[in-house]
Structure 1
Amino acid sequence: MAAAERRAGVERAIIVQLDFGGDDLAEQIEEVCLLARSAGAEVCAVVQGRRHAPDAATYAGKGKVEEIAAELAAHAAELVIFNHELSAAQERNLERALQCRVIDRTSLILDIFAQRAKSSEGKLQVELAQLEHLATRLVRGWTHLERQTGGIGLRGPGETQLETDRRLLGIRVRTLKGRLARLERQRGVQRKARARGELLSVSLVGYTNAGKSTLFNALTHAGVYAADQLFATLDTTTRKLWLPQAGHIVLSDTVGFIRKLPHSLVAAFHATLEATAEADLLLHVVDSASPARDDQVADVNQVLVEIGASRVPQLMVLNKLDLTGLPPSVERDEYGRIRRVRVSAIGGQGLPLLRAALAEIALLKTGGTSRDASGAAVLQAVDRHLDSDRSP
């Protein structure tokens, strides 16, 4: 494709996915291609390979690097994206061999987060994650300045330029952490105020692109940005939701999770994700039409363990039933507790069932009525909604 025919601002990228055994390769390739497109890249080709272990120098090995170089030349691409974690040395070696920019999975996700962060806190969190990731890679940009500065007018305090840069970066990281800590304390005060009001606190969690923001908008009419993209929204949004049977609850939409979410992002978004860990209930939104939904559920639960939210009760919401053709429904365990609700956030089917389920849980938390009476009343409401949803 001629340069004049390319879309302005779009980088042409080659994806590299290696198979070390044990994972669904097709699913991983589909996901990294979605990530690349979400970042604004045009995927030209995917280079695959099988290895027993990563190559210490180039991760992919000499022969595979030559294959990547051939694809770069054939498609006139300028970017290589590895769907793996590369060390700083591996990135440098690959860039030297391929004569183009090379980024890994963490850098790709950080770039998407940088594009999507809208609030001041979200931007601070992304900057912190980027700086902490950059700290291990500073040597790449400053190799020509690693020697001691000297000469007339250049004699300094004895630091190399690299050491100076690391020191300045460390100062900025501490500043960002301090600002985020203040915001975290403010949010803690707000959570305590809500807790004194005995409002049920509910956080939406789920794999990215499962439809959390669409469901949040359908329930609260908040107008949160929602799109068929990975990480369409980053900033936490909280709204009150009125339930006729139980009054107000507090509902929060949070950032979507993904397999192998970079630890730097988990740490940087600790203040935001803390709302999830301190919620009374998690609405675990699942893309029921995805063939990889079981793996996605496992990945979300793994992130919940990392942020200390694994013990928070969950209500699973099987979304996108409009794509599966299944009817709206409520599933209960052997003790009669609601465990799953099947809905379509975009079509509205099953949303009355979800509201009734939330009302039942809220009544049990607040003790507004007796347990048996509240449960019976909500059960009758659920049955009525089931009949109305199933009627032509």
Structure 2
Amino acid sequence: MQNSSLHQIRPRQHTSASTLVTIIKMICSQYRTNLHKEFSIDWTNCNIGTAHQDNGMETNLTICDICDFRQITKPSVVWCSECDEGLCRECTEHHRISKATRGHSTISIDGYKKLPPTILEITQTCKDHNEKIQIYCYKHDSLCCKKCVVENHNVCKELFDINDVVKDVKSSNTFLDIEQTLAEISENFKRIRKDREENLTAIKETREKIESEIKMTKLKIVSYLDKLQEEILKELSKTEKLESKQIHKLLTAVQQAEKDVTEYQNNIANIKQHASDLQTFIALNQIKHDVDEKDKFIQTLVNNKDLNHAVLSLKISYNVKNIKTSIPTFGIIVVESKSSGITIARRKNQQAQTMVMVPALRSSDFESTKRARDYHDCKQS
């Protein structure tokens, strides 16, 4: 791409963005005086440096400035950035055919209003001397009026006419690079936004899966505990039946022995009352033998601890009893950082660019500066 208005220099000497924006508006008033003379208007006391302001009040962009100074109120339809004025239809026609302004570019008022406030507020006069900016100092990256040059830049060697500096600025590498970089950044933000939205969706879906997994794990744990409960209840029932069976068996034997002893007691009472001494003597041997057997039976029950009580109890498993300490948490939620795979576009070999500098002017010659014909070659930073 042909570029006769910009060149690249060392990064520490590049033209600042604010200066670049200010430069764009510096050509606004170059033919202003000629245009006003044709209307016989005296602009001596007019401050052309403050964009759209008059004594601190914003100028109504819908009013034609030329007519306004002639004490006529007409709506403006276009804006001339070079004259820094709004023009009505009649003034626009004159502006279009006038020799001093026929080369000016105009835009509709509606289009002009769309410019950012920072652009609309750019001044074309020096804030220190309230004079028109005419010179650019390469060394200090500074816009200067005549007085600035005399006071602060008298020894600077690289002073350039502002018109040469801003020529073709919109087709410069810097301007195009900003456009391309903004488009690239915009695309990157779209990719990042899409990636983040996809990540949000993925996180939500993963949360739902984890919730399902947690619930399923809980059901498995509950199912396993139910199984353990069923097994221990079966064992409890089995143990109870076994112990009860043994007790019932012993109880049956005791009841039979108790019945026999009652019979022996009845026999003794009858013998004592009705039997002869011989019959009593003979019967006692047999009764004594039976009584001894019953007594031995009782002693056997005592010695074998068959009379001990069977007491059922439950000894809970250590892991179950201490489940809070053995299983302090259900698990942990882990956040991993994985590459998203998003591709961030980035212009490679970006280089600092600045406005092209025309051949240096002597400080004493700045009032009669002519447009330079030779430009510096592009330099790599």
Q: Please, what TM-score do these two structures have when normalized by structure 2?
A: 0.20
Task: Select the structure that is richer in strand.
Answer: 1
Greater radius of gyration (CA): 2
- What is the TM-score normalised by the length of structure 1? 0.20
Where is the helix percentage greater, Structure 1 or Structure 2? 2
